[in-house]
Amino acid sequence: MRDDSGFAEDVWLLPGSDVRMYGIPFTNRSTIIRLKSGGLWVHSPGVPTDGLFEAVDALGPVEYLIAPNKIHSLGIEPWKTRYPKAAVWLSPEFNKRHPTIKGDGIIGTDAPIPWQDEIDFHIFKGSSFLDEVIFFHKASRSLLVTDLIQKHDPEVQSWFWWCVKKLVGVLGKEGGTARDLRKTFRDKSAARQSRDQIMSWDFDNLIICHGQCLRGGAKASVQDAFAWLGPTASPA
Ligand SMILES: [Fe+2]
């Protein structure tokens, strides 16, 4: 498989087709985690590319398709068509934006989450726009973030997009939450609580959909990415 596919044991990164949001070009990726059952948990399935499904099939049967926020929707239906037995789990507000895409479960309701023993989750609060679910794969100590943290690769940007992404705050290792997205967090107190919940997890790696992932040392980087929320709560 392409990209730095073998990110950790039982964790693979899948490069997807580039996407545009509000005209801004983004690289995009999905992540596959093999659960103890042998089944595959697919985070943010993207638009299928040539040979993608064959590569996935070599890893095991697809058990779950995860829509981590209401924006990342493009791959859900083609993956469900290819893997009809896979259970689709949607972010809390996904169906408000995509009422015709049916899920088998909504994350954050009372429904038991079948993979939670291996992959914990938290719905990041405080935004009037984004309903992002953050995940923590315990075995690989990896945090999975979709849009809330972006670190676009400076080496592949045109001069123009390098400048735009620098100004927006999503370029390279200093990247974090885009400045326009920060403005949607009207409830900063709720966002700080979410940030603190995430920081309480024992992660060391960061997997993101847009930009460069981090192997090791991710906690300090995530802390920096949320600096706009102010200091972390002091331990009691
Ligand atoms: Fe995105």
Integer CA distances (angstroms), 115 to 84, 107, 202, 225, in order: 19, 11, 18, 27
pLDDT at residue 116 in the model? 95
Compute the C-alpha angle 144/150/155, nearest 5°: 120
Confidence check: pLDDT of 20 > 90: no
Smallest CA-to-CA distance from 150 within 128, 167, 173, 182 is with: 173
72 C-alpha to ligand 1 centroid (Å) = 6
The pLDDT-based confidence of 5 (bands split at 50, 70, 90) is low
148 C-alpha to ligand 1 centroid (Å) = 8
- Report residue 83 as tokens: 């893997």
Confidence check: pLDDT of 2 > 60: no
Confidence check: pLDDT of 3 > 50: no
Mean per-residue pLDDT of the chain: 93
Report which secondary-structure segment, H or E, holds 205.
strand 205-208
Integer CA distances (angstroms), 1 to 35, 48, 72, 160, in order: 19, 14, 22, 31
147 C-alpha to ligand 1 centroid (Å) = 5
* 220-233 pLDDT tens trace: 999 999 999 998 76
236 C-alpha to ligand 1 centroid (Å) = 35
DSSP 193: H
| Segment 30-43 mean pLDDT | 97
Cβ atoms of residues 14 and 31 within 8 Å = yes
Which residue did the predictor score with more confidence, 126 or 21? 126
Integer Cα distance of 44 and 17 in angstroms: 13
7 C-alpha to ligand 1 centroid (Å) = 20
The pLDDT-based confidence of 33 (bands split at 50, 70, 90) is very high
210 C-alpha to ligand 1 centroid (Å) = 7
Integer Cα distance of 225 and 100 in angstroms: 34
233 C-alpha to ligand 1 centroid (Å) = 28
pLDDT at residue 232 in the model? 73
* 58-90 pLDDT tens trace: 999 999 999 999 999 999 999 999 999 999 999
Percent of all residues in the chain with a pLDDT value above 70, rounded to a whole number: 96
150 C-alpha to ligand 1 centroid (Å) = 9
For the CA atoms of 59, 63, 69, 75, what is the dihedral angle to 10 degrees?
60
* 177-215 pLDDT tens trace: 999 999 999 999 999 999 999 999 999 999 999 999 999
Residues facing residue 206 across a β-bridge: 143, 214
133 C-alpha to ligand 1 centroid (Å) = 12
Cβ atoms of residues 47 and 17 within 8 Å = yes
95 C-alpha to ligand 1 centroid (Å) = 17
pLDDT at residue 111 in the model? 87
71 C-alpha to ligand 1 centroid (Å) = 7
The pLDDT-based confidence of 52 (bands split at 50, 70, 90) is very high
22 C-alpha to ligand 1 centroid (Å) = 11
70 C-alpha to ligand 1 centroid (Å) = 10
Smallest CA-to-CA distance from 43 within 110, 136, 129, 109 is with: 136
90 C-alpha to ligand 1 centroid (Å) = 15
* 123-156 pLDDT tens trace: 999 999 999 999 999 999 999 999 999 999 999 9
Cβ atoms of residues 69 and 130 within 8 Å = yes
On whether the 6-226 domain is CATH 3.60.15.10, my answer is yes
149 C-alpha to ligand 1 centroid (Å) = 10
Please tell me the pTM assigned to this model.
0.94
Confidence check: pLDDT of 234 > 60: no
Name the pairing type of β-strands 11-15 and 24-26: unpaired
19 C-alpha to ligand 1 centroid (Å) = 8
DSSP 131: -
The pLDDT-based confidence of 9 (bands split at 50, 70, 90) is very high
